[in-house]
């Protein structure tokens, strides 16, 4: 259990750190809210369904990505401003990292649930259906961003973070899809090994 407490401590350390003098508190709340909800859900369901430690670690990494985006706003993360200048990019692409994680980490969660709960009998369908679920999550999040932006007016611009890119929504969903594909294509053996270890204990 000690290793799980370490993850919780790291989660709150990153959350509190991101809350210190953020660029905009309204944007910060919007960006970190999914991580807080996710933490509560995982805490409540921990005894009933405990994910592999690998999955919890990846969830923490995803949360940290959200916290950094909430602190600076996705369009103004300093490291990716530097990347923008060095590689002569037209925008700060930290949001693409965020959306890649938005596909990769949910794919890990969904795939583990499919396997351990034996939801899908024909195992060859698991990669495809995992990707489909992640694409659906990404689409719903884009609708949520749109709704928040419309409801909050100019206050939601930082949350939307299009940076003038008319194809931002489509590219966000593309990067989430790529993240999900990468997970089921290249990390399935690592996850399978962790699932077997958990089930053996």
Residue 161's pLDDT is 62
Reduced to 3 states, what is the DSSP secondary structure of residue 91? coil
**String of DSSP letters for 58-78:** HHHHHHHHHHHHHHH-TT--H
Residue-level pLDDT at 151: 82
pLDDT confidence of residue 148:
84
DSSP-based three-state secondary structure for 117: coil
Please state the domain extents for the chain. Answer: 2-200
Are the C-beta atoms of 124 and 169 separated by less than 8 Å?
Answer: no
Tell me the CA end-to-end span of the chain in Å, nearest whole number. Answer: 13
State the pLDDT at residue 157. 61
Task: Quote the pLDDT of residue 145.
Answer: 86
Q: Are 91 and 84 in contact, with CB atoms under 8 Å apart?
A: yes
Q: Per residue of the chain (201 residues), what is the pLDDT tens digit?
A: 899 999 999 999 999 999 999 999 999 999 999 999 999 999 999 999 999 999 999 999 999 999 999 999 999 999 999 999 999 998 999 999 999 999 999 999 999 999 999 999 999 999 999 999 999 999 999 999 888 888 876 656 666 666 767 788 899 999 999 999 999 999 999 999 999 999 998
Distance separating alpha carbons of residues 139 and 142, to the nearest angstrom: 5
How many helices and strands in the chain, by DSSP H and E?
9, 0
Question: Smallest Cα–Cα separation from 23: which of 123, 85, 92?
Answer: 92
Tell me the two tokens of residue 93: 């692409």
Element containing residue 96 per DSSP (H, E) = helix 94-116
Residue 119: name the closest of 129, 134, 131, 107 by CA.
129
The pTM (predicted TM-score) of the whole model is: 0.94
Closest residue by Cα to residue 114 from 188, 40, 7, 190: 188
């Amino acid at each position: 259990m000690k290793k799980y407490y370490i993850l919780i401590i790291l989660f709150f350390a990153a959350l509190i750190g991101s809350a210190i003098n953020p660029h905009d508190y309204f944007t910060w709340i919007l960006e970190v809210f999914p991580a807080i909800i996710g933490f509560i859900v995982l805490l409540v369901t921990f005894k009933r369904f405990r994910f592999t430690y690998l999955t919890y670690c990846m969830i923490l990494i995803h949360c940290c990505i959200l916290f950094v985006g909430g602190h600076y706003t996705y369009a103004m993360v300093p490291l990716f401003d530097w990347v923008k200048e060095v590689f002569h990019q037209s925008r700060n692409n930290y949001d693409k990292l965020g959306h890649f994680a938005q596909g990769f980490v949910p794919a890990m969660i969904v795939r583990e649930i499919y396997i351990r709960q034996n939801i899908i009998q024909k195992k060859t369908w698991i990669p495809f259906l995992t990707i489909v679920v992640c694409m659906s999550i990404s689409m719903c999040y884009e609708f949520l961003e749109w709704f928040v932006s419309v409801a909050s007016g100019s206050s939601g611009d930082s949350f939307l973070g299009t940076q003038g890119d008319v194809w931002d929504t489509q590219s966000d969903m593309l990067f989430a899809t790529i993240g999900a594909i990468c997970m089921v294509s290249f990390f399935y053996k690592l996850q399978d090994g962790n699932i077997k270890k958990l089930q053996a204990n």
